[in-house]
Amino acid sequence: MKTPAITAVGHYAPDKILTNAYFESYLDTSDEWIVTRTGIRERHVVENQATSDLAVEAARRTLAMRGIGADQVDLIIVATVTPDMFFPSTAALVQNRIGASRAWGFDLSGACSGFLYALATGAQFIIAGTYSKVLVIGADTMSSITDYRDRNNCILFGDGGAAVLLEPGDEPGYGYLDWVNYMDGCGEETLHMKAGGSRHPATHETVDKGWHYIYQDGKSVFKVAVIGMAEAAVEIMRRNNLSSDDVAWLVPHQANLRIIQATADRMGIGMDKVMINIDRYGNTTAATIPSCLAEYYADGRLKRGDNIVLAAFGAGYTWGAAYVRWSI
Ligand code: UT7
C-alpha cells in the first residue's frame, strides 16, 4: 500500500475585492460587526469568470510548481457546490482547458467539507496503486449564489480556487496519514440552496422567491459547526497520538474566526499555530483549506515534517478532519 503525499499546491483568487466598507455603503452593517462576528475584512469575487476558470488557474499553478505537464495527470476531482453547469462536470471543463489528455474525473459535492471529501477520495486511488497523479481541486464561485441584499449572508462569502497534487509518498511516515469524514443530512433545513435542482427546477416563481441563493440560519449552523469541527480535529489527534505540542498547524475551513478559535481551544493549541486567511478571502467553501496550504507553503511557514490537522464543517451537514505530515 502506498501513502499518498501532497507534492504541489496552488491557489488562485480573482482580482476584484469587496471590502467591508463596500457593504457599509448600502447595507445596515458595519466593519466592526463583520470583523468581530466573523473575522472577515475583505473577499475576492469574480467578474466574468466561473468556477472552472478559478479551478484551471489553481491547477496550472499546482502543476507548474511540480514541474510536470497536465498530460501526466491520471484523475481530476473538483470539489464544488457552484459548478459552471450541472453538466458537463467542472472536472471535464478543467481537463479540456489544461490539456490533461489522459485524465478522467468528476465533481464532488461536499460543500465546505468538499476538499476533505475529495482528498479522501483521491487518496484511495494512490493507496490502491491505481494511479500516481491525482489532482484534487477545491473551487467555488459563491458570489454566483449570494443574495447581495441579505446582510446575514452576503458578507460571509468569497470566490476562489486551490488545488493539490497527490502522488505516492517517497518516505514512510510522511504524507496523508489519516482521516475521518462524517455526514448528517438533518442539516438540510438550516443551510441549502433550494431551487435549480430537480426538486424545484428554475421557474419565475423560484427566482422571485430568491430560492437560487444560499439560505443559512447562521446561528443554528454555528452551534453545530463549533462542535463538529472541534470533535473531528480532536479525534484525529487522539487516533494518531498527537499532543498539542506535536501539532505544527491546524488548517481549518475558514467560515468564521470564532469557530476556528473554538476548534483550536479544544485541541489545546494557540492561534499562532492556526492557518488563517479568512480576513482576506471570506468563506470560499471548497477552496479554503487548500488556499491556506498554498499561502503558508509559499511564504515558508509550512515546512517539511510539520504535523498538520485539516478540519472542516459545512452544509449537509458534512464534516471531517485529516492528519498530514507535510512532505515537501
Ligand atoms: O461554512 C459553512 C458553515 N457555515 C458556518 O459555519 C457559518 C456559521 N454561522 C456564523 O458564522 C454566524 O452565525 C454568523 C456570522 C452568520 C452570524 O453571527 P451571529 O453571532 O450568530 O449573529 P446572529 O445571527 O445571532 O445575529 C446577531 C444580530 C441579529 O440582530 P438581532 O436579531 O439580535 O437584532 C442580526 O440581525 O446581528 C444582526 N446581523 C447583522 N448586523 C450587522 C446579522 N447580520 C448582520 C450584519 N451586520 N451583516
**Model pLDDT for residues 120-171, shown as the tens digit of each residue:** 999 999 999 999 999 999 999 999 999 999 999 999 999 999 999 999 998 9
Look up residue 3 and give its DSSP letter.
P
Is-catalytic flag, 200?
no
Instruction: Decide whether any atom of ligand 1 lies within 6 Å of the 261 Cβ.
Output: no
| CB 143 near ligand 1, within 6 Å | no
Give every CB contact of residue 130 below 8 A, 6+ residues apart in sequence. Answer: 74
User: Which of the listed residues 148, 151, 222, 263 should we mutate to test ligand 1's pocket, taking the one with most ligand atoms within 8 A of CB?
Assistant: 222
* 253 classed as catalytic: yes
Q: Which pLDDT belongs to residue 170?
A: 86
Is 186 designated active site?
Answer: no
Give the rounded percent of residues in the chain with a pLDDT score beyond 70.
100
pLDDT at 1: 79
Q: Is the CB of 115 under 6 A from ligand 1?
A: no
Ligand 1 atom 17: the closest Cα is on which residue? 218
- The alpha carbon of 231 is separated from its chain's Cα centroid by a whole number of angstroms, namely 19
Cell numbers linked to 322: 485529516
Please indicate, yes or no, whether the overall pTM of this predicted structure exceeds 0.95.
Answer: yes
Q: What is the pLDDT of residues 49-104, one digit of tens each?
A: 999 999 999 999 999 999 999 999 999 999 999 999 999 999 999 999 999 999 99
pLDDT for 294 equals: 98
Indicate the length of the chain as a whole number.
Answer: 328
Q: Which of 261, 260, 326, 317 lies closest to 288, judged by CA?
A: 260
Residue 106: CB within 6 Å of ligand 1? Answer: no
Please report which helix (H) or strand (E) contains residue 45, including its range. Answer: strand 42-45
